[in-house]
């Protein structure tokens, strides 16, 4: 029977990171423009334990129906006997390319074409990557599921948080040591906030990536020392204030971008991300204490 390579745990993590990196280096990572330009720069990869206490806390702070890794694993593989500690959540960050960020930086109302393409075709690649990682591990006798691709995954209205879902990729990445939240709700990672996230829950026990931060907002200058707030001015519809991110205003604007994208760029899409570009946390961690070279 095929199996995941018989390596020490830390090297197994490297093997999985290589699986993700190799797929990102392949032809599927494309903006689907005339030159098949890359949608994403090289990924960051992190790992969280399946029995991390954070997953239970997410039922309080994300949604009562937010899955623990054990819940989505058990419903995907009914009848399987396992312990939460047998599971690892594999997460990745797909950073926007320098060209995409440069294009979006100069926009003030609607997304640049590269940004809109990454939102649609880049996210389609992200889903292929989720499936590729889960399928590859399953073939190697390591049961794995991408929660975001599960037919049971749903997004819903939330009394407390406006919108929530049964699996938040950004919260999974937070658990996997990959970043903390900013004033605009985006996840600030060592590669910045201009990125997208993916994850897979796998039946393999691996050492988790340390969470260097002490708070879920450590990497945002506004929460660190009251400075910055530059994402407030980047939002064309006033959806970000010192009180945080107005998801309804944001969502309404993003929906309105669909007509613009169709008419200007000639494909069905949408996007915004203005608050993710042209700000100090666009491409790295702005708080000196946490910044990485």
Q: Which residues bind ligand SF4 (CB under 6 A)?
A: 182-184, 220-222, 228-231, 234-235, 237, 239-240, 245, 250, 253, 272-275, 279-281, 286
For residue 97, the tally of other CB atoms under 10 A from its CB is: 19
Which class for 277: exposed (0-12), middle (13-18), buried (19 or more C-beta within 10 A)?
buried
Complex with ligand SF4: residue 200 or 250, whichever CB lies closer: 250
Work out how close the CB of 121 gets to ligand SF4 at its nearest, in angstroms, rounded to a whole number: 18
Work out how close the CB of 73 gets to ligand SF4 at its nearest, in angstroms, rounded to a whole number: 32
Q: Which helix (H) or strand (E) holds 40?
A: none
Complex with ligand SF4: residue 193 or 211, whichever CB lies closer: 193
Residue nearest to ligand SF4 (CB): 182
Dihedral of the alpha carbons of 184, 231, 104, 124, in degrees to the nearest 10: 0
Q: Which helix (H) or strand (E) holds 99?
A: helix 98-105
Complex with ligand SF4: residue 202 or 235, whichever CB lies closer: 235
122 and 215 in contact (C-beta within 8 Å)?
Answer: no
Residue 59: both structure tokens together: 């039922």
Complex with ligand SF4: residue 86 or 185, whichever CB lies closer: 185
Work out how close the CB of 101 gets to ligand SF4 at its nearest, in angstroms, rounded to a whole number: 14
Cβ neighbours of residue 156 under 8 Å, at least 6 residues apart?
A: 63, 65, 163, 164, 165
Complex with ligand SF4: residue 203 or 253, whichever CB lies closer: 253
Work out how close the CB of 275 gets to ligand SF4 at its nearest, in angstroms, rounded to a whole number: 3
Residue 183: both structure tokens together: 């004033």
What strands, in cross-sheet order, belong to the sheet with 195-202? 44-49, 88-95, 195-202, 144-145
195 and 169 in contact (C-beta within 8 Å)?
Answer: no
CA distance 254 to 249: 9
The three-point CA angle 152-155-158 to 5° equals 130
Residue 138: both structure tokens together: 């399953």
Complex with ligand SF4: residue 120 or 275, whichever CB lies closer: 275
Complex with ligand SF4: residue 58 or 219, whichever CB lies closer: 219
Work out how close the CB of 282 gets to ligand SF4 at its nearest, in angstroms, rounded to a whole number: 8
Work out how close the CB of 174 gets to ligand SF4 at its nearest, in angstroms, rounded to a whole number: 14
CA 48 from chain centre, in angstroms, equals 14
Work out how close the CB of 279 gets to ligand SF4 at its nearest, in angstroms, rounded to a whole number: 4
For residue 208, the tally of other CB atoms under 10 A from its CB is: 18
Work out how close the CB of 61 gets to ligand SF4 at its nearest, in angstroms, rounded to a whole number: 18
Complex with ligand SF4: residue 69 or 271, whichever CB lies closer: 271
SS3 (DSSP) at 198: strand
């Amino acid at each position: 029977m095929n199996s995941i390579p018989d390596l020490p745990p830390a090297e197994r993590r490297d093997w999985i990171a290589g699986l993700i990196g190799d797929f990102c280096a392949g032809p599927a990572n494309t903006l689907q423009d005339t030159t098949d330009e890359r949608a994403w720069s090289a990924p960051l990869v992190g790992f969280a334990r399946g029995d991390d206490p954070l997953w239970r806390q997410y039922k309080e702070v994300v949604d009562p129906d937010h899955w623990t890794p054990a819940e989505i694993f058990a419903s995907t593989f009914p009848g399987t006997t396992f312990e939460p500690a047998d599971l690892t959540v594999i997460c990745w960050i797909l950073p926007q390319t320098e060209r995409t960020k440069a294009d979006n930086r100069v926009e003030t109302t609607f997304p640049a074409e590269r940004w809109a393409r990454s939102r649609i075709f880049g996210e389609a690649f992200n889903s292929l990557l989720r499936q590729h990682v889960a399928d590859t591990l399953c073939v190697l006798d390591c049961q794995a599921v991408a929660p975001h691709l599960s037919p049971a995954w749903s997004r819903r209205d939330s009394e407390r948080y406006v919108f929530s879902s049964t699996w938040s990729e950004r919260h999974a990445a937070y658990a996997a040591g990959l970043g903390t939240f900013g004033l605009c709700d985006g996840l600030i990672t060592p590669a910045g906030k201009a990125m997208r996230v993916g994850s897979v829950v796998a039946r393999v026990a691996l050492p988790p990536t340390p969470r260097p931060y002490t708070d879920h907002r450590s990497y945002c200058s506004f929460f660190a020392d009251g400075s910055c707030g530059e994402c407030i001015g980047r939002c064309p519809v006033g959806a970000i204030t010192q009180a945080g991110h107005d998801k309804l205003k944001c969502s309404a604007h993003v929906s309105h971008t669909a007509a613009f994208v169709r008419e200007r760029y000639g494909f069905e899409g949408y996007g915004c991300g203005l608050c993710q570009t042209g700000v100090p946390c666009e491409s790295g961690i702005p708080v000196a204490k946490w910044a990485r070279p």
